[in-house]
Structure 1
Amino acid sequence: MNPTVLIIAGALLIFGGIGVTEGNEDALVPGSKELTTGKGIDVTQHKNILLLPAEEECGFADKEDIATSMQQSGSKVFLTKPNTPSKYPWMVRVVVEDNKGVRWPVCSGTLISSRYVLTSATCLIGLNSAVKVSNIVLGGHNAHCDNGKCFPISKVVEVSDTVIHPDYVLPTRQHDIGLVKLAKSVTVTESYMRPVCLPKAETLFAGFKNNKTVSVSWGKLEEGSLASSYMLYPRNLRVTEMTFELREYCDRFYKISHAKFGPGRFCATSTANKGICSDEDGGPLLKPIMIPESDQSRIYQIGIVSFQNKLCGQPGIPAGFTNVINYMSWILDNMSLD
């Protein structure tokens, strides 16, 4: 192993920052604690709440897939199966276009309604002036496809508008959240194209059963040279099991480069032999949570991938996430029917 990685791993142990272990049930509570803002957020009465799907209409696909991801042995990093409908039907790819008309995907995002995609502000503003967001690719989870064939067939939708949080700060990635409005509504009843659920009240976190979450993206498997970069990307969606870290630990690791962590952010580490890597910006951190006053669970997006350490893909290195619940009012304020 790289000596630098060994030194950092040792420091993590010294400062007590290693993620919650599976056998330490008493330590599972901080997972939900790190999402709690102290503001008692509840947007269930927001004027635009009906623009988001009800829990009966979001956050479900093949529920066994995420449940299985929580029980994986070995690396706990795996790729979705090829040539099968997406197990994460809310996943989208954000595509940009340069002034010569060349298009390519740069980030991940999630479908949150029939008209809106949630992603990071970095994906939308961290571009040069000659590049603009052009369209969104929905419904696919095979990034390269074989012989030009993908299953299911991806749907490409043009973009009509993008909204970036007004207080977003690029160097530190504070308030790293953005919305993409599709030029037309999409049908969200297809098995391969459905919205994810968003947390509408902090009381939802009382439904936490453990400290585990999963990050899903098409990000790199590891860093490498530009010449070999194509080979460093997975063909299918990459799923990584994560655990929450205390904000105090996040500050120890990132305070100098990314400012102090507050209620708008949290960090998590991979329990696998491969952590979050580059080009995963905008992707979701997902968790199955019990619906209040119900015996059913749904998949909720609780975080947005914001930044990673330069030692990408290494175990024990935390990644920074935007805390979705902290921005629910902002999300709804910037959604509209027209």
Structure 2
Amino acid sequence: MKVFVVLVLALASASAGLLPQIAPVHPKDRSAAFSIEGRITNGEKAAENQFPYQVGLSFTSSGGSWWCGGSIIDNSWVLTAAHCTSGASSVTIYYGATVRTSPKFTETVASKDFIQHANYLSLTVRNDISLIKTPKIAFSSAVGKIALPAIAGSYSTYVGDTAVASGWGLTGDKENAVAPDLNFVSLKIIANSVCQQTFGSLIVTNNVLCVETTNAKSTCQGDSGGPLALKDVLIGITSFGSAQGCEAGYPAAFTRVTSYLDWIKTNSGVSA
């Protein structure tokens, strides 16, 4: 199992605020002491067709398999996290599922059709974003795309806004059975300066967006790569959280989509 490298926290010579006070970990890489598959903790069950842009991603490699989420951004493109595609040989995409094991249809895609950011760096969670080129699909009430933010000269920080994350999996850190249903949770976006108090400025750069996780509501293992949406616009890709657990109350972090709009357009042709 690919385990996110825990950064050295005891370096006395490190600048204050540079390294994390709490180790970050990708949701898909949490140890068995917490969850081995994941979903939104303490969220709500999604209604049928509520999140038509949400896909489930079942990755395989020579060393095993893992589950992530993703977002449909066009009828032949899915956006997810680089830590999900990294090391995978193929992925089966679950379209239109509310019950995780009952999608409307699936497509299997080989790694040759993955476009992982060339500068993805797992150690500091840099450029945690990938595209998956898919067979052209037909949209319906159950399967559809989510809009990207418009390319602009400047963007909102979204601080104070409440966005919606969605995904499948366990209901909490101590659970050991995968929940069958798609769940969602509303999460308040916080300033990066606040998030840096937990994860440090080396990890929380301008390309990261963070949310607070009050009342043990958060993304969790298996939600990796899934969407964070604000008013039906994709603003974040589930990237990492605290190694202390999904319900520990520390911020959860996402790849900030507005930082990668040019990269997305260059590699897929897709824009708002």
TM-score (norm 2): 0.75
What residue number does 1:136 align with? Answer: 93
Matched AA of 2:92: N
Matched AA of 2:54: M
The reply to whether residue 216 of structure 1 matches residue 166 of structure 2 is yes
What residue number does 1:321 align with? Answer: 254
Measure, in 2, the Cα distance between the counterparts of 1:315 and 1:134.
31
Q: Select the residue among 69, 75, 78 that pairs with 2:44.
A: 78
User: Which protein has the bigger helix share?
Assistant: 1
SS in 1 for 2:68: strand
Measure, in 1, the Cα distance between the counterparts of 2:62 and 2:236.
32
| 1:204 Cα offset (Å) | 9.2
What residue number does 2:138 align with? Answer: 187
Measure, in 1, the Cα distance between the counterparts of 2:155 and 2:43.
25
Matched AA of 1:132: S
What residue number does 1:107 align with? Answer: 68
SS in 1 for 2:264: helix
Contact 2:188 2:212 (C-alpha < 8 Å) held by counterparts: yes
Computing the radius of gyration over CA atoms, which structure comes out larger, 1 or 2? 1
Q: Select the residue among 164, 174, 177 that pairs with 2:116.
A: 164
Residues 221 and 172 of structure 1: CA distance in aligned 2, closer, same or farther (over 3 Å): farther
The reply to whether residue 97 of structure 1 matches residue 60 of structure 2 is yes
State the identity as a percent: 23
Measure, in 2, the Cα distance between the counterparts of 1:205 and 1:212.
16
- What is the RMSD of the two structures over their aligned residues, measured on CA atoms? 2.7
What residue number does 1:265 align with? Answer: 208
The reply to whether residue 303 of structure 1 matches residue 236 of structure 2 is yes
Matched AA of 2:148: L
Contact 1:142 1:237 (C-alpha < 8 Å) held by counterparts: yes
| 1:323 Cα offset (Å) | 0.4
The more displaced of 316-325 and 89-98 is 89-98
What residue number does 1:332 align with? Answer: 265
Unaligned runs of 5+ in 1: 1-74, 145-149, 289-298
Residues 178 and 311 of structure 1: CA distance in aligned 2, closer, same or farther (over 3 Å): same
Measure, in 2, the Cα distance between the counterparts of 1:76 and 1:157.
30
Contact 1:274 1:315 (C-alpha < 8 Å) held by counterparts: no
Unaligned runs of 5+ in 2: 1-40
Query: Which protein has greater RCO, CA pairs closer than 8 Å, 6+ apart?
Result: 2
User: Which protein has the bigger strand share?
Assistant: 2
The reply to whether residue 236 of structure 1 matches residue 181 of structure 2 is yes
Residues 115-161 of structure 1: CA deviation (Å, up to 9, x unaligned): 00000000000x4xxx52232111112114xxxxx3xx521112250
| 1:252 Cα offset (Å) | 1.2
Contact 1:120 1:304 (C-alpha < 8 Å) held by counterparts: yes
SS in 1 for 2:212: strand
What residue number does 1:174 align with? Answer: 126
